[in-house]
Structure 1
Amino acid sequence: MNRKLVNHTTAGIYLLGIETSSLTCGIGISRDDDLLGEISLNLKNIHSERLAPMLHVLLESLSLSPQTLSGIILSSGPGSFTGLRIGYSIAKGLATSLNIPIVEIPTLDVWAYQTGYQQKPVLVVIDAHRGEIFCAMYRWEREQMQKVHDYCLISPEELSEKISEPVWIVGGDGEKLAEMLLPFLPEGSRILRPRAPYLQMWALLKLGFVKYNEKHFSDVASCEPMYMRAFRGVL
């Protein structure tokens, strides 16, 4: 269990971040673009029973009420079908009851952003199972992260045909996938090993804060996770 807290109760935009796209069940609260606190658990099949109690504990620890929240930032996938459904269900319920907006941030974007500035293109990959991967490629230009290849569901062989230059590869759900893919990529490619092997709440909330200020809000009733594949069983 990872738990970090900073007690701040001054005025500002308070955002709740939710990550359930992977093994990690994580929540965090920021004021403007500063992370105040987070709780994360890296255990299987605990999202449905732990997410709501974790939120209660975090709010209480920060001396905040649910009514303090200005919006919800969701890690929108791709990833675990079951985890994403649970995260969206709780987020929609909160957004409706508190009358606050939802901002969706693709999980691949968060992984790319939390790696920080890189001279080479960054390829983020997440295991999609059945011999396929979810991926997207990013490049840093003038201290801004730009997506240069769209999100895709692809086989390693197909990926090798699309990548023509060395890349830094980030495994969104562990190094094993990145190591498996390395032989398929151009010579000079290498694996970036993040300091923490799970999605970082500060990165999700910083990206979300920008979108919140730009009023890139999702429709609470109709927003859905970025599945990128028809549901064929629990992942």
Structure 2
Amino acid sequence: MPLLLSLETSTTVCSVALHENNTLLSMAEVHREHSHASKLAPLIDQVVRTADVTLKDISAVAVASGPGSYTGLRIGTSTAKGLCYALSIPLVAVGTLEIMAAQVNATNVSKARLCPMIDARRMEVYCQIFDAGNTALQAVEAKVIDEHSFEKELEEGPIIFFGNGADKCRPVITHPNAIFISGITPSAANLGALAWTKFQQQRIEDLVHFEPFYLKEFMIKKPASLNQP
């Protein structure tokens, strides 16, 4: 039976899952910032051992494509591509905000629109609005949040905001149709479920050219001493 290994490293959580025919076999994750480089490989080993298979049994690798942490996305993508090259298997990619929306839509009995948010520092977030069928209603954007954000959309009905960028928006977006829920982080289990459909449809990535969707350029600040004449 086909096995799909999924790696989610877009945010502070490092998450790995293994699916067989869209059934979750095993999953492991670490909720610790800056842990991806040291924890991803052990998590992969743990998930594979728990399912009593080997890496040679894997049929494809799925990875979260972003947006999110530049470093996290680089680690997840390089690991996924390395496995695909070594095992001669395909790579499947799913957007991080789509993964988060699917997690909340699983219990979205009100059928409200969803707006996953990933922290992009200060009052900026990466965000996208989805309907209750997990269809994107607008493109991903890097949005600076103020009291007027989403005014038009909120006038049309309730929107659920969530993700590690949503908490800082709660005091600012005060419209009565704005609903905030906490504790939602992207999961490899949901990534695998979405990636399974793409894998079945052979919607796979070009290993040579695939890159994560950073949305914004990574900025490296020079130490203050280097800026002095």
- Are residues 1:79 and 2:68 paired? yes
Alpha-carbon separation, structure 2, partners of 1:28 and 1:150: 27
Picking from 217, 222, 228, the partner of 1:230 is 217
- Are residues 1:63 and 2:55 paired? no
- How does 1:9-158 map onto structure 2 within 5 Å? 12-116=1-105, 117=108, 118-140=110-132, 144-157=133-146
Check 1:177–1:170 CA distance in 2 against 1; reply closer, same or farther (3 A cut): same
- C-alpha offsets along residues 98-130 of structure 1, whole Å, 9 cap, x if unaligned? 111111100000111111244221111111114
For the Cα contact (< 8 Å) 1:125–1:178, is it kept in 2?
A: no
Alpha-carbon shift at residue 197 of structure 1 (Å): 3.3
For the Cα contact (< 8 Å) 2:120–2:165, is it kept in 1?
A: no
- C-alpha offsets along residues 162-200 of structure 1, whole Å, 9 cap, x if unaligned? 5342333332226523414432xx43221134xx53223
Alpha-carbon separation, structure 1, partners of 2:119 and 2:186: 14
Picking from 160, 172, 178, the partner of 1:169 is 160
- Are residues 1:212 and 2:171 paired? no
For the Cα contact (< 8 Å) 1:73–1:105, is it kept in 2?
A: yes
Count of matched residue pairs: 216
Mind listing any 5+ residue stretches in structure 2 that lack a counterpart?
222-229
- SS across alignment from 2:170: helix
Q: One-letter code of the match for 1:165?
A: E
Alpha-carbon separation, structure 1, partners of 2:125 and 2:138: 14
- C-alpha offsets along residues 12-42 of structure 1, whole Å, 9 cap, x if unaligned? 2210110111110110101011111011001
Aligned to 1:8: none
Provide the alpha-carbon RMSD of the alignment.
Answer: 1.9
Identity %: 26
Judging by fraction of residues, say which structure has more strand.
1
Moved over 6 A (4+): none
Alpha-carbon separation, structure 2, partners of 1:226 and 1:162: 27
For the Cα contact (< 8 Å) 1:108–1:172, is it kept in 2?
A: no
TM (norm. structure 2) is 0.87
